[in-house]
Structure 1
Amino acid sequence: MEPDEYIRGLAADSLRRGDAVGWWDTLYVAAGEGVTEVPWDRGGPHRLLASWPGIEVDGAGRRAVVVGCGLGGDAEFIASRGYATVAFDVSPAAVRTARSRFPDSGVDYTVADLFDVPAAWRGGFDLVLESMTVQALPRDLRDRAVAAVRDLVAPGGTLLVIAAATREGQERVEGPPWPLTRADVAGFETADLRLEALDELEEPEFHRWRATLRRAPR
């Protein structure tokens, strides 16, 4: 069975039980046992993170957080730029694998739920990476997820959003993923968290948003 088909089956079963996120841990456990693959595990950072102009800024003395860190490729890349990096995932299996994959890492890998993060994290990070996590949640949770992501951004901080893209009126009924429209990306904005740049990258089998948002300083 193809990994994408396997994932959709896991997600459907999980959603029928009223659990929107439990399928992630099942997937990472199965991948660890060789049953399937994690299709977004690239063994390194997402290319839209690696090519993002903002990553060239020296992160020394700054804090970063990676939302839904998976197996750690993005977190390690950000940490290599000098950021004190926290990386969290709702899947204990993903976090265990990331720690074992990078045993000498300075990244703080931890199990956490986006909807119930530690209070100290709120407004605590100079760089927040949201790569492909919000799109993996059902649409009825999207507003909550977006609000939880942007709540992590410190005054003067940056939010980088990477997501699968779709056109208005072409949204998928079945997922995951449920790609984001331009309006969905705009939904990350607030009065003090403004969209600074929006890149739309489209290739035959690759349609992505890369959005950079900046929070006003105090």
Structure 2
Amino acid sequence: MSKSTQQPFDFATADFNAVYRGGDLLEDAGITKVPWDIAEPQPGVIEFEQRGRIRGEVLDAGCGLGDNAVFLASRGYRVTAVDAASTAIERAIERAGDADIEFAVADATSLAGYEGRFDTVLDSALFHTLDADGRSRYAAALHRAARPGAWLDMLCFAAVPGGMPEPLAVTEQAVRHILTEAGWTVTELRRSTYLGVAEATRTFLAKTGVQVEIDDRGRTLLPVWSVLAERS
């Protein structure tokens, strides 16, 4: 991870509703387009499904515009997709069309009303957006929402060279500690890649001094932890 950050940002002030409407995600960061809207499911989510890591009732926590949820629904899974940003849910419902998905606006650090419901929990890049306390509350909320023996499949920005700046990126040790403290048993944690929209983050990356790989389709190739865990 680059230590030559030129300008710090308070990621706790991120306004997700604003960026979904074309406004600023972070003050002075130059992010006015949704950086994670690649208009298709994340390759890491497709890999989870191909590896047989999806079963039963599925929670897509922090579903954003719903492309991962639509993919899973198309594969025959019963999916509940939640996000704290109401604008994201509104647009996800439109994008999903007639896909059989239960969308809802919900605080993922609480998930009140979803206790003991899910066999699989998917987190495609929500965990790292929270501060330290929020990550702990979130991991505990997912544990409450999951059934005994449920699976957690998570993609989380990795605090490694060529990745997003800390604290937006998370160390392997922090991921393991927070999940374990919340009652999850981590069964696999390895490096993978998350696709983003380079155009949306070019100014932000320049200001932070972080250099990331960009493919020939104009997508950032961001290092993430691909985490598999089981509810103890």
Identify the TM-score tier after normalising by the shorter chain.
0.7 to 0.9
Q: 1:137 to 1:109 in 2, by over 3 A?
A: same
Residue 144 of structure 2 is aligned to residue 151 of structure 1: yes
**Contact 1:164-1:209 at 8 Å conserved across structures:** yes
Residues 1:116 and 1:140: Cα distance change in structure 2 (over 3 Å): closer
What is the deviation of 1:54?
5.8
Structure number with greater CO (CA < 8 Å, separation at least 6) is: 2
Listed as ranges, the matches of 1:52-71 within 5 Å are: 52=48, 56=52, 59=55, 62-71=56-65
Is 1:114 the counterpart of 2:108 in the alignment? yes
1:30 counterpart residue number: 22
Q: In the alignment, what sits opposite 1:80? A: 74
Give runs of aligned pairs for residues 121-160 of structure 1, distance below 5 A.
121-160=114-153
TM-score using structure 1 length: 0.75
Q: Which of 138, 158, 168 does residue 165 from structure 1 map onto?
A: 158
Aligned equivalents of 1:67 and 1:194: distance in 2? 19
Cα distance, 1:58 vs structure 2: 7.0
Pairing 1:182–2:169 present: no
% of aligned pairs identical?
26
Q: Partner of 2:180: helix, strand, or coil?
A: coil
Q: 1:164 to 1:192 in 2, by over 3 A?
A: closer
AA in 1 matched with 2:102: D
Counterpart in the other structure of 2:230: 214
1:99 positional shift: 0.7
Q: Could you say which residue in structure 2 is the equivalent of 1:201?
A: 192
Distance 2:122 2:54 in 1: 16
Unaligned runs of 5+ in 2: 1-6, 24-30, 194-211, 214-220
Partner of 1:39: 35
Consecutive unaligned residues of structure 1, counting only runs of 5 or more, are 1-7
Change (3 A) 1:55 1:92: farther
Aligned residue pair count: 192
CA contact (8 A) 2:16 2:85 kept: yes
After superposition, the CA RMSD in angstroms is 3.1
Q: How far off its partner does 1:91 sit?
A: 0.9
